[in-house]
Structure 1
Amino acid sequence: MTLLTFRFAPSPNGELHLGHAFSALLNQKLARAVGGRLLLRIEDIDTTRCSPEFEAGIFTDLRWLGLAWEQPVRRQSEHFACYETVLDRLIREDLVYPAFMSRSEIRAFITESEKRDWPRDPDGVPVYPAVDKALPAKERRRRIAEGAPFAWRLDVDAAMARVGKDLSWNEFSDESLSATRVVEARPRDWGDVIVARREIPTSYHLAVVVDDALQGVSHVVRGQDLYSATGVQRLLQELLGLPQPAYFHHRLILGPDGRKLSKSLKDTGLAVLREAGVSAHDVRRMVGL
């Protein structure tokens, strides 16, 4: 019998906080409840922001919380060749294209277009203009040969045409994982998302679907802030013929001001709480477990 498989997948670009603790502990709780597996994956494709020191801190924090996971730990930075193979397939099938516009160029294009109602993705970022998609192949090759910076973007319209059907995913209704509902996947809401960069042959979206498939992840339990992103990942799963996990997007742990906790805003980390005398039991109580 195949065991149900859960995973906790932090990025070592800062210290873990209470939000991470809740997600990790919830994955452990659910895996134990069904006699399943718990994996730890280090999502460190952003080599400029991730560091061994932050990774070591993740291990320390999780062990302090009482987590145990299967070995070996998968580090995404050690598997760029794997992602590049998948990217090459998307390139061969004309499902991605090199996009050369910088953020400032995107803003300027939108301003010059005088389109104040320019569509934005679920994160509030302007959807990428379709300018580069129309570039002739010769012009694309010339720019790449000259060293122009670019990212590989998914041609979402071409991808949806290739799939040829509406997409959805199964979302658990609550932490009991006793019932699911079908959620419509809306990848077009994101426009032509980045799936790889020139210097890094992957992105969060591409790496996560490849890793979940390779590791046999059956249940993706993660924060509500990634709910809409599931639409893009469902599209990639269909394009690549990858299995579809079941999903549960759990509640977020909020700060005193009502916003979600963030490493970038340097919200109080678990290490600081530990040094202040807070126990692992206290953390479980603080996050409602």
Structure 2
Amino acid sequence: MQISPHSASRLLRCGQRDRCRACGNRIEWYTRGTDPHQRSVRLHPGEVPAARVPAACRWHVSSGVAYPAGDGSRWCRLPHAAVCPARDADPACADLSGLRRALSVTTRRLIDAGAFTPTPAQDHSMPVGADARVCRPARPVVQLLYVRYLASRPVEEIRCVAQTRRRHRCTSALLTSAAAAGMWKLMPVTAASGQLALPADVMTVYDLSRLPYNEQLRWRAQRCPQHAATPAAADLAVTDWEPFDPLRHHEHIHPRLPVGARRPRPHGGMRQAARP
């Protein structure tokens, strides 16, 4: 098990509970034990009979770390994507149709109760309407402290990870009207400063480099302004930042600015920044 060294609660980085943004059902995040980059995998919270799960979808958890393939027992874990009702059914997982239907019923109940709003299944990088937020990348690349990270959700939806007094996760967003915002820019396609850029390629980056150092630390710790002023507050979730790699994350490279960005000047030069 890994422990967050900067958390007041010494938060264990294993089995972090969350909800799927597409269907609203509960999921658990685990670090992949075979991944040198320590990326996470979303697993269904419960175990299922291994005989009903295709070999390629079997996972097991040992010491708080998830490993692909089963551990030899009759039970295993499986990725949430295999049974997510918001995705197309996989023919290889036909034996899991009952679990998929149960999750679909839960999704419908959450929607009817107003507790969940599904994320539209569309390309957030292409303009499809007048709403400026529709053109925002679903997983934007954010630059802070001279490092580029891949966010797990749009900039406006990145939530604070601190624990409130009622022992719930804070619902405040990092991007507030009271704090300085970053700027959308077109930058060379690199993982971080100092690396060679891919030839003739540019990408959309939400740049926080111009913000004060303390503000960039707040974004890196994923805390709202209120909880940034109270460092003793415990963390209830692990930060969502994933180090950006242009080769592994090429599908998240967008060569155009979001809607509302400034266009090229008529007499040369491009204003490559736009406020959110």
* TM-score, L = length of structure 1: 0.26
Greater relative contact order (CA < 8 Å, ≥ 6 in sequence): 1
Task: Indicate the structure with greater helix content.
Answer: 1
